[in-house]
Amino acid sequence: MADSSRQLKLKVILAIAGLIVLLAATWVWTAPARRTMRVFTLLLNAANREAVEEVRQLCSERWLATHSLEVAPEGGLKNFPRNIHKNFQVWSEGDVVLVRPTNRGRLEPVYRFVHERGDWKFDGLAGLMTADGQLVSPDSTDDHDLGHPSASGSN
């Protein structure tokens, strides 16, 4: 009886240890996406408050070199999304994290974040997601108006 009790305790300990390892691995694996969403939320809040210097701190050097930070006529800042849908998507692709902030089943913006200066930074439009889930190049799209109600309907 003592041996079966020890075996049961060992099995329980191994199961708990396995669960802890699984949770730790999940925590590490999802860290870039979670940190990106923290930055994205800060970016939305700062852009909607027109806090240009806060937004500048959340953007990549590449994006800042090619875009200006300007107040949009309808409020917020140009070149930035205005809100996020409750069914947003976030995923990693290589060294970048992509965020699809809307979920309307039509052509939607997908934004790229890069790891720079110790944190994830907004790096602009990565492409447009089609209704069938394909990410297409935004070659002919001016990301200047993406995410603004006047350009894309109500967000």
Provide the β-strand partners of residue 108.
129
Greatest Cα pair distance in the chain: 78
Calpha distance 71→128 (Å, rounded): 24
> Domains in the chain, ordered, with CATH?
33-152 (3.10.450)
pLDDT at 133 over 50: yes
pLDDT, tens digit (0-9, with 9 covering 90-100), for 44-101: 999 999 999 999 999 999 999 999 999 999 889 987 888 888 888 899 989 999 999 9
pLDDT at 152 over 80: no
Strands (DSSP E) along the chain, which ranges? 89-93, 96-100, 108-116, 119-129, 135-136
The residue with tokens 């720079």 is 116
pLDDT at 37 over 90: yes
pLDDT at 154 over 80: no
Task: Name, in order, each residue with C-beta under 8 angstroms of 65's C-beta and a sequence gap of 6 or more.
Answer: none
